Amino acid sequence: MRRFLPTFLALLAGLTLSAGCGGDDAAAEQGAVTGRVPVVTTTTQLADFARVIGGNHVDVHGILKTDVDPHDYEPSPADVARLASAKVIVKNGVGLEDWFDATIRNAEPESAVVDASTGVTLRDGGDPHIWLDPRNAKVMVRNITGALTAADPAHAADYAANEAAYTSELDRLDGEIAAEIARVPNRKLVTNHDALGYYIDRYGLEFVGSIIPSFDTSAELSAADVSGVVSRIRQAGVKAVFSESSVPPKTAEAIGRDAGVTVVAGDDALYVDSLGPPGSDGDTYLKMLRHNSRVIIENLS
């Protein structure tokens, strides 16, 4: 993982805060003028949750943008400035954003950091991809609702109503996905990296293996790893290898050729570590779940 030196981060924060003329500063000032609660989130999923629950009462700045790997990121000076002035800060937790702890120390924000994973039952090994089970997403949303309510009690009723409505949507979609996957006879799954564990556990899929044998996309891949995945694909009768939008598909495509199976990439790649860009099938959390489930079901059926 890459790190910022503390002195360099402090310098960046000071320069950004003193400039006061960048796009992010202007957005922060607009939030202050409108009376909206300034919220900073790490991941794209958390940014979506905060916007849904906060509605017109919040000004959300997501540090990570679409198709950016959250495991290995260098915050910008604008990110540091936003953190320093935020009223609510939300991180995923479970070690996903190792780069974030040093950043938050040097930004010295007045607000506390909300760990969205609080209350989530974790898989063995500390898998940080908790959002891929919608039941966990409900816990994350509840934590965000609590943080917004504490920061802005005047709009507590609105936040509670938004949470209730969104929770109903999550429950409905969760039930639909479970029913559809239950009808798929071959549920053997191979992915780019070991990120779909919560999704696999929730919907009764069988994890055959991942190309990168780690929760972290920056992990090294050996020739033995590649050979082992190809062998498992052939032995298990896997139908497809699923690439992810934020991970280059080159290795997945090579393994797919060696194993003689379809590689799902391009527009049908799974949105895992990041939501998709605006206008895509994965530009919100709910759309991301629908897209991923549709692609998985179609290619395993």
pLDDT band at 263 (very low <50, low <70, confident <90, very high): confident
Q: Assess whether pLDDT exceeds 90 at residue 52.
A: yes
The more confidently predicted of residues 53 and 259 is: 53
Q: Assess whether pLDDT exceeds 70 at residue 63.
A: yes
Strand ranges of the sheet holding 113-115, from the earlier edge strand across to the other edge:
58-62, 37-41, 88-91, 113-115
pLDDT in tens, 212-256: 754 455 555 567 777 787 888 888 888 888 888 867 677 777 888
Contact 162, 55 (CB under 8 A): yes
pLDDT in tens, 22-37: 434 444 454 555 689 9
pLDDT in tens, 161-194: 999 999 999 999 999 999 999 999 999 988 877 8
Mean pLDDT calculated for residue range 137-159: 98
Q: Assess whether pLDDT exceeds 90 at residue 118.
A: yes
What CATH number was assigned to the domain covering residues 184-300? 3.40.50.1980
Pairing of β 88-91 and β 188-193: unpaired
Lowest mean pLDDT among 68-77, 78-87, 115-124: 68-77
What CATH number was assigned to the domain covering residues 6-175? 3.40.50.1980
Predicted TM-score of the model (pTM):
0.84
Q: What is the pLDDT of residue 265?
A: 84
pLDDT band at 105 (very low <50, low <70, confident <90, very high): confident
Contact 259, 238 (CB under 8 A): yes
Mean pLDDT calculated for residue range 78-84: 92
Contacts within 8 Å (CB) and 24+ apart, 35-39: 37/87, 37/88, 37/148, 37/151, 37/152, 38/82, 38/85, 38/86, 38/87, 38/88, 39/86, 39/87, 39/88, 39/89, 39/90, 39/148
Contact 111, 88 (CB under 8 A): yes
Residues of the chain with CATH 3.40.50.1980: 6-175, 184-300
